Copies of this chain bind each other. A is one copy, B any other.
Amino acid sequence: MPPAPEVPEVVIRRLPYYLRSLVHMANRGQQVVSSQELGEWLGVSPAQIRKDLSYFGEFGRQGLGYEVAYLRDQLCAILQSDKHWRLALVGAGALGHALIHYPDFAQWNYHIVAVFDNDPAKHGQRLREDLVVQPMEELEETIRREGIQMAIIAVPPVAAQEVADLLVAAGVRSLLNYAPISLVLPEGVYTEEIDPVARLQSMSYYLR
Protein backbone atom coordinates (compact mmCIF):
# COMPACT_ATOMS: atom_id res chain seq x y z
CA MET A 1 0.00 0.00 0.00
CA PRO A 2 1.45 3.40 -0.95
CA PRO A 3 1.73 5.82 1.94
CA ALA A 4 -1.16 8.27 2.24
CA PRO A 5 -0.09 11.41 0.36
CA GLU A 6 0.76 14.11 2.79
CA VAL A 7 -1.78 16.87 3.00
CA PRO A 8 -0.27 20.15 1.79
CA GLU A 9 -0.10 22.87 4.39
CA VAL A 10 -2.09 25.28 2.22
CA VAL A 11 -4.99 22.86 2.43
CA ILE A 12 -4.83 22.76 6.23
CA ARG A 13 -4.88 26.54 6.26
CA ARG A 14 -8.06 26.65 4.16
CA LEU A 15 -10.05 24.14 6.20
CA PRO A 16 -10.82 26.57 9.04
CA TYR A 17 -12.48 28.89 6.54
CA TYR A 18 -14.57 26.09 5.08
CA LEU A 19 -15.55 25.16 8.61
CA ARG A 20 -16.48 28.72 9.51
CA SER A 21 -18.78 29.00 6.50
CA LEU A 22 -20.41 25.67 7.23
CA VAL A 23 -21.14 26.73 10.81
CA HIS A 24 -22.69 29.91 9.48
CA MET A 25 -24.83 27.99 7.01
CA ALA A 26 -25.88 25.41 9.57
CA ASN A 27 -26.87 28.15 12.01
CA ARG A 28 -29.18 29.68 9.47
CA GLY A 29 -30.79 26.30 8.87
CA GLN A 30 -29.20 25.34 5.57
CA GLN A 31 -29.24 21.58 5.05
CA VAL A 32 -27.12 21.05 1.97
CA VAL A 33 -24.39 22.92 0.13
CA SER A 34 -22.59 22.31 -3.15
CA SER A 35 -18.91 22.96 -3.74
CA GLN A 36 -20.13 25.61 -6.19
CA GLU A 37 -22.08 27.52 -3.57
CA LEU A 38 -19.44 27.18 -0.85
CA GLY A 39 -16.80 28.32 -3.31
CA GLU A 40 -18.76 31.40 -4.34
CA TRP A 41 -19.24 32.30 -0.70
CA LEU A 42 -15.52 32.04 0.02
CA GLY A 43 -14.07 33.22 -3.26
CA VAL A 44 -12.51 29.82 -3.95
CA SER A 45 -13.02 27.51 -6.93
CA PRO A 46 -15.38 24.57 -6.48
CA ALA A 47 -12.72 22.22 -7.83
CA GLN A 48 -10.36 23.32 -5.11
CA ILE A 49 -12.86 22.63 -2.38
CA ARG A 50 -13.56 19.14 -3.71
CA LYS A 51 -9.87 18.43 -4.09
CA ASP A 52 -9.07 19.71 -0.60
CA LEU A 53 -11.79 17.59 0.99
CA SER A 54 -10.72 14.53 -0.98
CA TYR A 55 -7.50 14.39 1.03
CA PHE A 56 -9.58 13.30 3.99
CA GLY A 57 -12.36 11.16 2.55
CA GLU A 58 -15.60 11.30 0.61
CA PHE A 59 -18.04 13.61 2.32
CA GLY A 60 -20.53 14.45 -0.40
CA ARG A 61 -23.08 12.78 -2.63
CA GLN A 62 -23.03 13.00 -6.40
CA GLY A 63 -25.86 15.05 -7.75
CA LEU A 64 -26.64 16.49 -4.33
CA GLY A 65 -23.72 18.15 -2.63
CA TYR A 66 -22.64 18.08 0.98
CA GLU A 67 -24.82 17.75 4.06
CA VAL A 68 -23.87 20.95 5.92
CA ALA A 69 -23.99 19.69 9.51
CA TYR A 70 -22.20 16.48 8.63
CA LEU A 71 -19.36 18.17 6.79
CA ARG A 72 -19.07 20.73 9.58
CA ASP A 73 -18.63 17.99 12.16
CA GLN A 74 -16.14 16.12 9.99
CA LEU A 75 -13.98 19.20 9.46
CA CYS A 76 -14.18 20.02 13.13
CA ALA A 77 -12.87 16.55 13.93
CA ILE A 78 -10.13 16.71 11.27
CA LEU A 79 -8.84 19.97 12.71
CA GLN A 80 -9.24 18.50 16.21
CA SER A 81 -11.37 21.49 17.02
CA ASP A 82 -13.84 19.10 18.62
CA LYS A 83 -11.32 18.52 21.41
CA HIS A 84 -11.07 20.74 24.47
CA TRP A 85 -7.77 22.65 24.24
CA ARG A 86 -6.12 24.35 27.20
CA LEU A 87 -3.93 27.35 26.43
CA ALA A 88 -1.46 29.48 28.33
CA LEU A 89 -1.24 33.19 27.68
CA VAL A 90 1.97 35.09 28.32
CA GLY A 91 1.59 38.85 28.62
CA ALA A 92 -1.21 40.55 30.52
CA GLY A 93 -1.05 43.92 28.79
CA ALA A 94 -3.76 45.56 26.71
CA LEU A 95 -3.56 42.83 24.06
CA GLY A 96 -3.60 40.06 26.66
CA HIS A 97 -6.73 41.53 28.21
CA ALA A 98 -8.44 41.74 24.84
CA LEU A 99 -7.55 38.11 24.11
CA ILE A 100 -8.97 36.96 27.43
CA HIS A 101 -12.25 38.62 26.63
CA TYR A 102 -12.30 37.39 23.05
CA PRO A 103 -15.40 35.18 22.98
CA ASP A 104 -14.37 33.10 19.98
CA PHE A 105 -11.56 31.20 21.62
CA ALA A 106 -13.73 29.48 24.20
CA GLN A 107 -16.58 29.10 21.74
CA TRP A 108 -14.23 27.06 19.58
CA ASN A 109 -12.85 24.96 22.39
CA TYR A 110 -9.60 26.88 22.84
CA HIS A 111 -9.57 27.84 26.51
CA ILE A 112 -7.07 30.15 28.12
CA VAL A 113 -6.49 28.52 31.50
CA ALA A 114 -3.32 30.26 32.68
CA VAL A 115 -1.85 33.75 32.32
CA PHE A 116 1.69 34.83 33.07
CA ASP A 117 3.38 38.22 33.23
CA ASN A 118 6.73 39.43 34.46
CA ASP A 119 5.34 42.58 36.08
CA PRO A 120 5.01 42.00 39.85
CA ALA A 121 2.33 44.69 40.00
CA LYS A 122 0.08 42.42 37.97
CA HIS A 123 0.64 39.21 39.88
CA GLY A 124 -2.50 38.02 41.62
CA GLN A 125 -4.69 40.26 39.52
CA ARG A 126 -7.96 38.43 38.78
CA LEU A 127 -8.81 38.63 35.08
CA ARG A 128 -11.74 36.28 35.16
CA GLU A 129 -13.47 34.29 37.86
CA ASP A 130 -11.00 31.46 37.41
CA LEU A 131 -7.98 33.27 36.04
CA VAL A 132 -5.26 35.02 38.01
CA VAL A 133 -2.05 36.52 36.62
CA GLN A 134 0.89 34.36 37.70
CA PRO A 135 4.57 35.26 37.82
CA MET A 136 6.86 33.85 35.14
CA GLU A 137 8.52 31.68 37.75
CA GLU A 138 5.39 29.52 37.90
CA LEU A 139 5.16 29.06 34.14
CA GLU A 140 7.01 25.79 33.81
CA GLU A 141 5.35 24.02 36.68
CA THR A 142 1.84 25.16 35.79
CA ILE A 143 2.18 24.20 32.15
CA ARG A 144 3.49 20.77 33.02
CA ARG A 145 0.86 20.15 35.67
CA GLU A 146 -1.98 21.24 33.41
CA GLY A 147 -0.58 19.46 30.37
CA ILE A 148 -0.86 22.62 28.29
CA GLN A 149 0.14 22.13 24.65
CA MET A 150 -0.68 25.50 23.09
CA ALA A 151 0.26 29.03 24.10
CA ILE A 152 -0.27 32.62 23.07
CA ILE A 153 2.60 35.08 23.19
CA ALA A 154 1.48 38.65 23.80
CA VAL A 155 4.64 40.25 25.12
CA PRO A 156 6.86 42.97 23.63
CA PRO A 157 9.10 41.81 20.76
CA VAL A 158 12.32 41.92 22.79
CA ALA A 159 10.96 39.35 25.22
CA ALA A 160 9.22 37.07 22.74
CA GLN A 161 12.05 34.69 21.86
CA GLU A 162 12.91 34.13 25.49
CA VAL A 163 9.27 33.48 26.35
CA ALA A 164 9.00 31.08 23.43
CA ASP A 165 12.02 29.16 24.70
CA LEU A 166 10.51 28.90 28.18
CA LEU A 167 7.22 27.68 26.78
CA VAL A 168 8.84 25.08 24.57
CA ALA A 169 11.04 23.89 27.44
CA ALA A 170 7.89 23.44 29.50
CA GLY A 171 6.34 21.21 26.84
CA VAL A 172 4.27 23.56 24.69
CA ARG A 173 4.09 22.45 21.05
CA SER A 174 2.16 25.26 19.34
CA LEU A 175 2.64 28.99 19.63
CA LEU A 176 0.38 31.77 18.49
CA ASN A 177 2.79 34.67 18.36
CA TYR A 178 1.53 38.25 18.48
CA ALA A 179 5.02 39.72 18.73
CA PRO A 180 6.38 41.01 15.42
CA ILE A 181 9.49 38.87 15.30
CA SER A 182 10.28 35.60 13.57
CA LEU A 183 10.73 33.05 16.32
CA VAL A 184 13.44 30.44 16.01
CA LEU A 185 12.05 27.14 17.20
CA PRO A 186 13.05 23.49 17.30
CA GLU A 187 11.59 20.92 14.89
CA GLY A 188 8.11 19.80 15.78
CA VAL A 189 7.01 23.08 17.36
CA TYR A 190 4.40 24.88 15.32
CA THR A 191 4.05 28.60 15.26
CA GLU A 192 1.66 31.06 13.72
CA GLU A 193 2.41 34.72 13.73
CA ILE A 194 -0.12 37.51 13.79
CA ASP A 195 1.35 40.78 12.58
CA PRO A 196 -1.20 43.44 11.69
CA VAL A 197 1.51 45.87 10.57
CA ALA A 198 2.70 43.41 7.92
CA ARG A 199 -0.89 43.21 6.69
CA LEU A 200 -1.27 46.97 6.55
CA GLN A 201 1.99 47.19 4.66
CA SER A 202 0.96 44.75 1.97
CA MET A 203 -2.29 46.66 1.60
CA SER A 204 -0.67 50.07 1.40
CA TYR A 205 1.51 48.73 -1.42
CA TYR A 206 -1.62 48.52 -3.55
CA LEU A 207 -2.89 51.98 -2.62
CA ARG A 208 -1.22 53.83 -5.47
Minimum CB distance partner of A76 in chain B: B201
State in angstroms the CA–CA spacing of A72 and B4 once bound together.
Answer: 44
Tally A residues with Cβ within 8 Å of B.
Answer: 56
Task: Determine the chain B residues whose CB is within 8 A of the CB of A12 once the complex forms.
Answer: 202, 205-206
- Check A124 for interface membership: any CB of B closer than 8 A: no
State in angstroms the CA–CA spacing of A197 and B76 once bound together.
Answer: 12
Select which of B87, B101, B173, B202 is within 8 A of A13 by beta carbon: B202
State in angstroms the CA–CA spacing of A156 and B100 once bound together.
Answer: 15
Select which of B17, B94, B150, B190 is within 8 A of A198 by beta carbon: B17
State in angstroms the CA–CA spacing of A15 and B15 once bound together.
Answer: 26
Task: Determine the chain B residues whose CB is within 8 A of the CB of A192 once the complex forms.
Answer: 199-200, 202-203
Select which of B15, B110, B199 is within 8 A of A202 by beta carbon: B15
Number of copies: 2
- Check A42 for interface membership: any CB of B closer than 8 A: yes
Select which of B80, B95, B108 is within 8 A of A197 by beta carbon: B108
B41 close to A78 (CB less than 8 A): no
Q: Can you list, as one digit per residue, whether each of A136-168 has a CB less than 8 Å from chain B (1) or not (0)? A: 000000000000011010000000000000000
State in angstroms the CA–CA spacing of A97 and B102 once bound together.
Answer: 13
State in angstroms the CA–CA spacing of A201 and B23 once bound together.
Answer: 14
Q: Can you list, as one digit per residue, whether each of A8-37 has a CB less than 8 Å from chain B (1) or not (0)? A: 000011011101110010000000000000
Give me the interface of A with B, judged by CB distance under 8 Å: 12-13, 15-17, 19-21, 24, 41-43, 78-81, 83, 85, 87, 94-95, 97-99, 101-102, 104-105, 108, 110, 149-150, 152, 173-174, 176, 180-182, 190, 192, 194-208
